[in-house]
Amino acid sequence: MERFRPALLSQNVGTTEVFEVASKADQVHEEQVKLLYLHSKSGLVATVINGVILTLSLWPVISHSLLLAWLACTELLALLRWLVLDRYTYLTRDAKSTNRRWKGFLIGTILSGLCWGSAGVFLFAEGSLPHQTFLAFVLGGMTAGAITIYAPKMEVLAGFVVPTLVPITIRFFAEGSEIHQAMGIMTLFCLMMMLIIGQRVHATLVKSLRLQLENSDLVCYLTNETQRMEKLNEKLQWEVGERQRVHEALRRAHDDLESEVQRRTAELSQANRELTKQIYHREQLETQLLHAQKMEAIGRLAGGVAHDFNNLLTAILGYSQLALVRLAATDPGRQEVEEIERAGQRAASLTSQLLAFSRKQILQAVVLDLNELVGKMQGMLYRLLGEDIHLVTILRPGLWPVRADRGQIEQVIMNLAVNARDAMPHGGTLTIEMANIELGEDEMRGHVDLILGHYVMLRVSDTGCGMDAETMAHIFEPFFTTKERGKGTGLGLSMVYGIVKQSNGDIWASSEPGHSTTFKVYLPRVNESGEELEPEEKAEIPAGCETILLVEDEEAIRKLTCEVLRMNGYTVLEAIDAEDARSIASNYPGEIHLLLTDVVMPRMSGKVLADFLSPTRPTMRVIYMSGYTDDAILHHGVLNPGTSFLQKPFTLSVLIRKVYEALRPQPETNRVSFARERDRGHHA
């Protein structure tokens, strides 16, 4: 059958022009250029509007002259491109002119991308994260909109997207902070996604153009054949059978095309479902990561506040106890001082809970058998819960041991029991269960804080009123409570969270309104046997006569400590810092029996001071004291085996006992833990 040379019919502003082209590729190229010119005016309008919006938004934080200069360049370039696009309507179109217009369009697009990309450098609002985020949002929106306009030519799309997003991405990474690093990664991810999506849209569009051209060729061919058949009807009767075969071939081709379209549609649907699933899992992980970062930030804040309170509470508790010693039992002011002391003790307890939440308290980790621990707590739990709540404990034979602070794990169980009791005001059942658990990949999915391995699970569940999703999202935050004002501090579950995290474990919660609530605590298994704690023996502390060098930069604590030590017969040499202590030690002719020093001080730490004085006074013993948390003290090298340490806030009796034990050490008493001294200071 005779084939006719294909011709592409293009229509613009009501004028029909017929162009003879050499190949399908030239036809596709010309159609792509035409689509770029026809659709770009809407993009220029968006450029003008977004430029004005961005200028107005950054007006308070960016130099006005710089903003106006950038806006002028952007709008002038948009105007020039508009004139070029408008002139395209009236020009003759051939292969040579098409290539010339294509190159001009590409250059204009690259210049526009560079102009928008310069905003990421020159309009970057230093110190204003919201304005930086808005700038990134506008640039991302411009590149997203560019996909629908510049997709006909991938070179044009890349020429706009890359210059637009690369400068602000580099700028985010150059800022150096964690949030800017995260935003830089997100901007880079946006750039890659824009190019990938643009490539897919481009491929689809090119395929569509090729199919359109093929259909145009076919229509042209059928039209010519129909005209010939009308003119030569008598001569073409014998071609009826041929035409039927042609139509059959077309039908088969159409069926094949339909099948291909259905197959591709199914593939795209499957790919879309997979992408949706991946996005869902990614959002879950991002949500958990953000929650973990938020809890970590709150923990750091709580730890810092607790340190400052420790110094204040040491002076408050010390002077109140000193005043009680001096006041007679019938003195009218004694009751007020006792109230001050009780308030200080409550503040010390709150500080301890803040340290527990921030995972910065000093713990005494021992190997525990949770079966034995829960069994010993049952009597206390019965009294705590009351008669209307039924307690069920499920102990598992062969339960693996764990390593944790005994007192803190008891506190975890007590807090969870109190929380369950408050959720069952009309009675119910509280179940405490232990089990050996091996966490695999399926169980770990969605939980980023644990690793695969063996754990001991402590499960605490109630039959109370349950919690909704909004409440569940905040239950571990400090000071968050659903109780009435004055009936809770909001630190119970946050303290549980901090203790479990500091013990290298994790806690999961599940609940629904109107249904039960379950907390699962996972503690890693250890291959050791449980340890029994020996009860402490308390004895009367006699007065001393030794010389003590006291180094403390907090004046109130220094004066209080000096007064208490001197009341107990000790000679005290006061030093306001390490340099003052060095001078006193070098000039004092007598023996200094004990160095009582703060750990963290300006210019020189207590550990460095002790090491400096050790060669000249080798028999001098050392007690370190600090209100800082575990990490800070470890940083200064204090918490080593055999080191005497006094945690602020401390009571007068704890101070005197610690000094007495340091001056008269006994092998049996060297095992007193830092955590036990801290607890004794809080509750003595």
Per DSSP bridges, beta strands 8-12 and 594-598 are unpaired
Domains (range + CATH), the chain: 8-14+24-235 (no CATH), 294-356 (1.10.287.130), 364-524 (3.30.565.10), 547-683 (3.40.50.2300)
Confidence of residue 442 (pLDDT cuts 50, 70, 90): low
Question: What are the φ and ψ backbone dihedral angles of 618, each rounded to 5 degrees?
Answer: -70, -25
In sequence order, the 6+-apart residues with CB closer than 8 A to the CB of 471 are 482
Distance CA 296, CA 284 (A): 18
Average pLDDT over every residue of 302-328: 71
Handedness of CA 203, 205, 209, 215 (dihedral sign): positive
How does pLDDT run across 91-119, given as a tens digit for each residue?
Answer: 555 667 777 778 878 888 888 888 898 88
Degrees (nearest 5) of the Cα angle 436, 439, 444?
145
Q: Is the peptide bond before 478 cis (omega within 30 degrees of 0)?
A: no
Do 573 and 562 touch, CB atoms closer than 8 A?
no
Instruction: Give the residue with greater pLDDT, 503 vs 281.
Output: 503
In sequence order, the 6+-apart residues with CB closer than 8 A to the CB of 113 are 159, 160, 161, 162, 163, 164
Diameter over CA atoms, the chain = 138
Element (H, E) at 595: strand 594-598
Distance CA 601, CA 607 (A): 10
pLDDT at 301: 61
Burial class (CB in 10 A: 0-12, 13-18, 19+), 136: buried
Do 4 and 18 touch, CB atoms closer than 8 A?
no
How does pLDDT run across 49-97, given as a tens digit for each residue?
Answer: 888 888 888 888 888 888 898 989 888 988 888 887 777 655 555 667 7
Distance CA 351, CA 355 (A): 6
Confidence of residue 672 (pLDDT cuts 50, 70, 90): very low
Confidence of residue 597 (pLDDT cuts 50, 70, 90): very high
Instruction: Give the residue with greater pLDDT, 237 vs 496.
Output: 496
**Could you tell me the pTM of the whole model?**
0.37
Burial code (b: 16+ CB inside 10 Å, e: under 16) for 263-276 equals eeeeeeeeeeeeee
What is the SS3 assignment for 84? helix
Tell whether the model's pLDDT for residue 671 goes beyond 60: no
CB atoms closer than 10 angstroms to residue 503 = 21
For residue 481, the Cα-to-chain-centroid distance in whole angstroms is 23
Burial code (b: 16+ CB inside 10 Å, e: under 16) for 23-59 equals eeeebbbbbbbbbbbeebeebbebbbebbeebbebbe
Distance CA 286, CA 537 (A): 52
pLDDT at 16: 36
User: Range with the lowest mean pLDDT among 36-45, 47-56, 181-190, 551-560?
Assistant: 36-45
pLDDT at 281: 72
Taking Cα atoms as reference points, which of 413, 419, 309 lies closest to residue 360? 309
Instruction: Give the residue with greater pLDDT, 532 vs 335.
Output: 335
CB atoms closer than 10 angstroms to residue 88 = 20
Residue percentage of the chain with pLDDT more than 90: 9
pLDDT at 621: 92
Distance CA 535, CA 343 (A): 29
User: Range with the lowest mean pLDDT among 13-27, 597-611, 632-646?
Assistant: 13-27
Average pLDDT over every residue of 34-39: 79
pLDDT at 574: 92
Confidence of residue 468 (pLDDT cuts 50, 70, 90): confident
Distance CA 524, CA 503 (A): 9
Average pLDDT over every residue of 469-488: 69
Handedness of CA 436, 441, 444, 445 (dihedral sign): negative
Handedness of CA 301, 303, 305, 308 (dihedral sign): negative
Question: What are the φ and ψ backbone dihedral angles of 171, each rounded to 5 degrees?
Answer: -65, -40
Looking at residue 45, its amino acid is: V
Looking at residue 111, its amino acid is: L
Tell whether the model's pLDDT for residue 678 goes beyond 70: no
Burial code (b: 16+ CB inside 10 Å, e: under 16) for 309-331 equals bbbbbbbbbbbbbbbbeebeeee
pLDDT at 623: 92
Which pair of tokens denotes residue 441? 């990949």
Do 58 and 130 touch, CB atoms closer than 8 A?
no
Distance CA 490, CA 134 (A): 36
Confidence of residue 356 (pLDDT cuts 50, 70, 90): low
Looking at residue 308, its amino acid is: D
Within 13 Å of residue 120, how many CA atoms lie on the same side as its CB?
29
Do 16 and 233 touch, CB atoms closer than 8 A?
no
Do 159 and 113 touch, CB atoms closer than 8 A?
yes
Distance CA 565, CA 543 (A): 9
Which pair of tokens denotes residue 336? 């007020």
Average pLDDT over every residue of 228-256: 82
**In degrees to the nearest 10, what's the CA dihedral of 614, 617, 620, 623?**
-40
Tell whether the model's pLDDT for residue 299 goes beyond 90: no
pLDDT at 683: 36
Q: At what angle do helices 64-88 and 24-58 cross, to 10 degrees?
A: 150
Tell whether the model's pLDDT for residue 570 goes beyond 90: yes
Taking Cα atoms as reference points, which of 157, 147, 680 lies closest to residue 407? 680
Tell whether the model's pLDDT for residue 357 goes beyond 60: no
How does pLDDT run across 120-137, given as a tens digit for each residue?
Answer: 888 888 888 888 888 888
Taking Cα atoms as reference points, which of 477, 478, 462 lies closest to residue 510? 462
pLDDT at 26: 74
Average pLDDT over every residue of 572-596: 91
How does pLDDT run across 149-198, given as a tens digit for each residue?
Answer: 888 888 888 888 899 888 988 888 888 888 888 888 998 888 898 889 88
Average pLDDT over every residue of 269-280: 86
Taking Cα atoms as reference points, which of 319, 307, 326 lies closest to residue 652? 319
Average pLDDT of the residues of the chain: 78
pLDDT at 674: 35
Which pair of tokens denotes residue 182? 């995260």
Tell whether the model's pLDDT for residue 451 goes beyond 70: yes
Burial class (CB in 10 A: 0-12, 13-18, 19+), 549: buried
Cα-Cα end-to-end distance for the chain = 108
Residue percentage of the chain with pLDDT more than 70: 78
Element (H, E) at 7: none
For residue 72, the Cα-to-chain-centroid distance in whole angstroms is 40
Do 585 and 613 touch, CB atoms closer than 8 A?
yes
Looking at residue 56, its amino acid is: L
Burial code (b: 16+ CB inside 10 Å, e: under 16) for 554-592 equals beebbbbbbebbeebebebbbbbbbeebbebbeeeeeeb
pLDDT at 100: 78
How does pLDDT run across 609-655, given as a tens digit for each residue?
Answer: 999 999 999 999 999 888 765 544 555 444 555 578 887 778 788 88
